[in-house]
Structure 1
């Protein structure tokens, strides 16, 4: 059950204390080593007030700080982790998940674009946004960087639904003024004005953040890329969210449309669309020099292994990118709907699998880091969410190693916390998420009685 308060966020009972085994990521394991970055407390206490962590550590050392009469929500034999951070997901493609696509182009033309045209209807957008946000929480995701459609109402609906659930999202309407169906095109000027209006309405309100969102270089004219860069520059603290180098055909297409540029990434570089706060999805086929340019500019990448495998896009060189001599800040994205799941557990396991196929495996601490603190760093939020240290927002998920008979049987054989985390990723799904807390509030309770219907707007 997902608990959404129709009267608005913050009106539900505030969580004061939660007890149980706690996993945290205090640094980047690609740069410091997993042992230095990882912390496990078998019996921990989280204290929360006003939506933030006020204390986190051994229960025995902190129990004296419990207010009189307060009994912690206790999750023995579970694992409490930071709320997952999805750095690339389409809020307007839930209903085309698990749809066949022979490649990226056919997926867009046959699945994504027809579905996105439906978001011209604000009622449809609101219903879809409610289902989307409920699914995020059901899977333990508390922060997400989200694509809307070209319609401003799609972004309004997502921001509204997220606010009711205390979700932290960054979102934007898509900018797309060429190489798309007529019904999904805007213009450079209209796209700027509609984005500016959304930004003024939502950015910095509660937990909302605006993301300037050109779909990708091939679907925007030079004039629109210039307008996107101008809007981003004019509003510090906003994000820039787009795609890059997902497939070889897309790379060749971008080169043909911008022959004066040195490559696909250079298109964004030329128009001022790289830098801290820029999050580029995929990057599967970036050259080593292009990855170095991302590192030099502070541009982040969102690795989306699920959709890359589903569409045959290629294998992202994760260890080389996140852990090389010039590391690029990297998070994980489900990329719903080409991605087949909202589960960051499944996504981090897919990232592990892709890295292994590339011959440069990552360990489970590194994989969970990418799904939590690493994703937060990609969004410029490393001091805000992702680590469960005092002062951060109180977003976390409670994972149940006994969620299914098979999971319980296998988890019982785990010899340490790292092995248990691996088992949860390999065998887990939404049933594994016992509870999700956002800003210190219980917003999803798997075991609660259903409130009556899914996706209440």
Structure 2
């Protein structure tokens, strides 16, 4: 297990952190060109100018020299499926045939604990390699898959949330469970708030749950109000039409979930493409959040998410890779596609806003502000070191950047896992791309 460093450790680099949404505040971020981040006992102790903080360090405090790099809070991915890692980049003409042809057969294998453990190990390594320190994760329908995920995450001391998928109809027999949610409740009791693990109650999507299962899910959510809820809604038009046939009495797809008590703070709804104004308003009013998954939406041809409508309604938005329909574990590549989707919808997504959505914005959407997504003192020390010279093209472009916005935009549009020099979780280095740094004092 990676344990927090008990004695102070300092990191010298440029520092970027947020304290507001750049879309709604002029002074939303803090940028320190030559900064120092001080960490001890898995938490951030201080962050500020190197010249000011360095003299306050205790004699002998090691200082990792990352000058020329940027330290930001670790990325937060609010929607992805760990059993789908092995089927990423699988061709299909749309969401529903993609599920039948690739997703369900792949997820079937996760009933085998050994297979689930191997998949969870690779999945978490891939997240850390891409700078993602927290994720809201779908496991398979098997209890063993969730156990494997949490065991692997706890061994790395990561702040992760996940849950066993719930499906009791319109799915293969080999993945069908029931309205008896004892397995989910057992997992909540074992893993929720156990160390840095958090549980997410996880109905896959309305078409694969009977009304009895949705009702039981709502009861479980009420019994454990600080758990997360995660599901899909309004991803593509065929799916929306199907939900209309299955639940004709409900006003909308999203209204199905609200009817069963599944809209509340810490509820995360993936996609949200085909919502109406009432739906966006209900998301805002209930404290629910949206996981915008641009690479997945483009890959499956599902549609283009309307960020402006969500903003106008006051709904919380974060980013999700949605692996394996999503085509990359990289939150930088996810920003890249989110920017393009915004342009196609007639709006503009600045780089500062993209980095906010992947850090503090995601923490807020998960009800974890003050815990993760920030470099503020007292927060858990989950942070990453970004290399603006990770590739020849990135180095050439950032050398000519005239502002922080241009530098971040280049990282988002040109960067990928190679731009993650190092990843830290609770103050411990859990991934480093290049040889170990040379401490200096």
TM class, shorter-length? over 0.9
d(CA) in 2 for partners of 1:395, 1:176: 34
- 2:318 matched residue in structure 1: 331
| Residue among 42, 45, 56 paired with 1:65 | 56
TM-score, normalising length from structure 1? Answer: 0.94
Matches within 5 A, 1:19-418: 19-32=12-25, 35-189=26-180, 192-321=181-310, 323-324=311-312, 326-418=313-405
Contact residue 86 and residue 333 of structure 1 kept, 8 A: yes
Aligned-residue CA RMSD (Å): 1.2
d(CA) in 1 for partners of 2:412, 2:33: 19
Q: CA deviation at 1:320?
A: 2.3
Q: CA deviation at 1:72?
A: 1.1
Contact residue 15 and residue 440 of structure 1 kept, 8 A: no
Contact residue 141 and residue 177 of structure 2 kept, 8 A: yes
- 1:3 matched residue in structure 2: none
- The residue matched to 1:76 in structure 2 has which SS? strand
| CA shift digits 1:346-386 (9 cap, x unpaired) | 10121111001100111111111111111111111112111
Contact residue 13 and residue 441 of structure 1 kept, 8 A: no
d(CA) in 2 for partners of 1:285, 1:67: 56
- The residue matched to 1:290 in structure 2 has which SS? helix
| CA shift digits 1:215-263 (9 cap, x unpaired) | 0000000110111111111112100010000001111111110111111
- Where does structure 1 differ by over 2 angstroms across 4 or more consecutive aligned residues? 11-15
d(CA) in 2 for partners of 1:133, 1:17: 26
d(CA) in 1 for partners of 2:218, 2:129: 35
d(CA) in 2 for partners of 1:386, 1:105: 34
| Residue among 17, 22, 40 paired with 2:10 | 17
Q: CA deviation at 1:405?
A: 1.1
Q: CA deviation at 1:401?
A: 1.1
TM-score, normalising length from structure 2? Answer: 0.97
Q: CA deviation at 1:13?
A: 7.4
Aligned positions, number? 436
Where structure 1 has 5 or more consecutive residues not aligned to the other structure, the ranges are: 1-7, 450-457
| CA shift digits 1:170-223 (9 cap, x unpaired) | 10000000000001010001xx10001111111111110000000000000011
Q: Which moved more, 1:427-436 or 1:409-418?
A: 409-418
| CA shift digits 1:92-121 (9 cap, x unpaired) | 110001111210001101111110001011
Contact residue 93 and residue 336 of structure 1 kept, 8 A: yes
Q: CA deviation at 1:11?
A: 6.8
Contact residue 140 and residue 165 of structure 2 kept, 8 A: yes
- The residue matched to 2:11 in structure 1 has which SS? strand
d(CA) in 2 for partners of 1:19, 1:443: 18
